[in-house]
């Protein structure tokens, strides 16, 4: 083995070693700026030394035409689990992947056979043997992860709802030339649209991933009509002439909330906590602490109300996330901590259910979302919703929420005060009856798009315009 190859293999093993990554995170937890610089260096090293992560330009690529003789044969629906196969960190995207795969495995797919696949660390796309989701724990399980390199026939579909930043797009492109149909899911465009709220390393990686997706996509599926419109608008604005025509569709996430009824009873400490907060109205925020979720503005608005002797509690449920160090420090030393301000980093599902049942309202303060599952969860338990006035929340909640202006802390404080008055009068909007999908229905909606060609619109780079085919995938 050459010296260059040896160094490359050593570098690869270090950059992708979970133990080293976790140890580094712990060591740098109090040095966020240095950690971010190290993340940038790490990503650039991966990009420089691993050529397969470079997106492939699609100039002059012809789309394969499926021969009539292959149309009657069984096809493969290749379901990408590349990131999930490496690590299950229970992100929102990974919950979507596990739920979709479980439902696809249950449903009839006609002439398609479902096969889990993943990208290995040398640029191959391989089958994941005996892959299934263990439902009691909702964790992915494999009997033999390392499978053979994927073999395709024209008309096979590659579908990815995963977000593996180092996907081998070059390999995927060569498979497209053999007749593979490539469908990517786009959950959001935050890495491109709100870079000031995200780590630079993530934005760099997401930008490269997005280019690879656009260069290899035959079709794109988004998790909401709002995201589909954003993607379509971006394609038109940037006029991606190095792509072929791309069909764009959307579907909504599901929520199997009835399953949560089987969780165990809350413990005595949780009961004591619920007793502590019930003496006055409770605003509940659910989600990882990070800038785009709006926790800082929410806290500032409540500080205004507290200064004016308004009796209301604020409860944060979620772990600390990107760029949350200053907020976490403030929460831990806040004068209202455990009085009117509460942060639960590791709340159990049982406690979360009780908070949905007993709180006064869900405060959905995110500046940007791809979907917004907490709104669905709140509606399931009949919890009123106070939501930021952004398109995605209107798409999900419609008339079943009270909306506050997307402006500043003072306006939010005023809106919360107004909602409290409406609630006291019995006139606040109610979430009960808000429609939502189960994961079975969500998967059926997805299949209607990708297998029955019920696409929302089509991006045509040569015309720089779109042709709308339907207003809904429902």
pLDDT in tens, 350-389: 899 999 999 999 999 999 999 998 999 999 999 999 999 9
Percent of the chain with pLDDT over 70: 76
pLDDT tens for residues 305-316? Answer: 999 999 999 999
Please state, in angstroms and as integers, the Cα–Cα distance from residue 192 to each residue in 166, 188, 228, 229, 288, following that order. Answer: 17, 9, 15, 15, 20
**Portions of the chain given CATH number 3.40.50.2000:** 68-254+441-466, 257-425
- pLDDT of 265: 79
DSSP strand pairing (112-119 vs 125-127): antiparallel
**Strand order through the sheet with 313-317:** 341-344, 313-317, 282-286, 361-364, 385-388, 402-404
Question: Are the C-beta atoms of residues 114 and 74 closer than 8 Å to each other?
Answer: no
- CATH class given for the domain over 257-425: alpha beta
Beta strands in 120-190 (DSSP E): 125-127, 129-134, 139-144, 157-160, 181-186
- The two tokens of residue 82 are 């590349």
pLDDT tens for residues 223-244? Answer: 999 999 999 999 988 875 556 7
Of 10-19, 187-196, 397-406, 429-438, which range is least confident? Answer: 10-19
Beta strands in 12-110 (DSSP E): 75-80
pLDDT tens for residues 136-147? Answer: 455 555 544 678
Question: Are the C-beta atoms of residues 185 and 223 closer than 8 Å to each other?
Answer: yes
Mean pLDDT of 10-27: 61
Closest residue by Cα to residue 430 from 361, 377, 373: 361
- Secondary-structure percent of the chain, ordered helix, strand, coil, rounded to 5: 45, 20, 40
Question: Are the C-beta atoms of residues 251 and 282 closer than 8 Å to each other?
Answer: no
Please report which confidence band the pLDDT of residue 121 belongs to, taking 50, 70 and 90 as the band edges.
confident
Determine the Cα–Cα distance for residues 178 and 155; give it in Å rounded to an integer: 9
Q: Is the pLDDT of residue 415 over 60?
A: yes
Please report, to the nearest 10 degrees, the dihedral formed by the alpha carbons of residues 460, 464, 470, 474 taken in order.
Answer: 80
Q: What is the pTM of this model?
A: 0.83
Question: Are the C-beta atoms of residues 246 and 458 closer than 8 Å to each other?
Answer: yes
- CATH class given for the domain over 68-254+441-466: alpha beta
- pLDDT of 57: 44
- Bridge partners of 220, per DSSP, are 184, 248
pLDDT tens for residues 213-223? Answer: 999 999 999 99
Of 129-133, 192-196, 217-221, 407-411, which range is least confident? Answer: 129-133
Please give the distance of CA 115 from its chain centroid, rounded to a whole number.
22
- The two tokens of residue 14 are 């270090």
């Amino acid at each position: 083995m050459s010296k260059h190859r040896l160094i490359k293999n050593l570098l690869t093993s270090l950059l992708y070693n979970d133990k080293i990554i976790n140890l580094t995170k712990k060591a740098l937890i109090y040095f966020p700026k240095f950690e971010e610089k190290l993340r940038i260096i790490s990503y650039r090293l991966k990009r420089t030394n691993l050529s397969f992560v470079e997106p492939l330009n699609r100039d002059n690529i012809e789309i394969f035409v499926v021969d009539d003789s292959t149309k009657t044969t069984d096809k493969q629906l290749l379901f990408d689990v590349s990131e999930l196969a490496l690590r299950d960190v229970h992100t929102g995207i990974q919950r979507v992947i596990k739920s979709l795969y479980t439902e696809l495995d249950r449903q009839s797919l006609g002439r398609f056979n479902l096969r889990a696949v993943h990208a290995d660390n040398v640029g191959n796309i391989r089958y994941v043997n005996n892959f299934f989701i263990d439902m009691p724990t909702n964790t992915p399980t494999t009997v033999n992860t390392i499978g053979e390199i994927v073999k395709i026939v024209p008309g096979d579909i590659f579908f990815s709802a995963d977000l593996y930043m180092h996907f081998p797009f070059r390999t995927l492109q060569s498979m497209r030339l053999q007749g593979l149909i490539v469908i990517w899911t786009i959950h959001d465009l935050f890495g491109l649209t709100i870079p000031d709220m995200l780590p630079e390393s993530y934005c760099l990686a997401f930008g490269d991933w997005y280019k690879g997706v656009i260069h290899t996509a035959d079709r794109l599926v988004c998790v909401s009509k709002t995201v589909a419109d954003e993607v379509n608008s971006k394609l038109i604005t940037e006029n991606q002439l190095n792509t072929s025509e791309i069909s764009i569709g959307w579907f909504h996430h599901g929520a199997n909330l009835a399953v949560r009824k089987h969780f165990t009873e809350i413990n005595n400490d949780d009961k004591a906590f619920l007793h502590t907060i019930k003496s006055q109205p409770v605003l509940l925020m659910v989600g990882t602490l990070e800038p785009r979720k709006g926790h800082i503005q929410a806290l500032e608005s409540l500080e205004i109300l507290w200064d004016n002797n308004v009796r209301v509690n604020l409860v944060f449920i979620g772990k600390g996330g990107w760029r949350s160090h200053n907020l976490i420090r403030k929460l831990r030393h806040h004068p209202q901590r455990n009085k009117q301000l509460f942060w639960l980093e590791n709340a159990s599902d049982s406690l979360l259910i009780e908070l949905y049942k007993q709180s006064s309202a869900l405060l959905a303060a995110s500046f940007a979302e791809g979907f917004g599952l907490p709104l669905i969860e709140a509606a399931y338990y009949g919890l009123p919703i106070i939501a930021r006035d952004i398109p995605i929340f209107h798409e999900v909640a419609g008339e079943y929420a009270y909306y506050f202006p997307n402006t500043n802390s003072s306006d939010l404080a005023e809106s919360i005060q107004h909602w409290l008055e409406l609630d006291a009068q019995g006139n606040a909007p109610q979430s009960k009856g808000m429609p939502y999908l189960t994961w079975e229905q969500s998967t059926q909606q997805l299949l209607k798009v990708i297998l029955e060609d019920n696409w929302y619109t089509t991006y045509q780079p040569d015309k720089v315009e779109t042709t709308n085919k339907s207003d809904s995938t429902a």
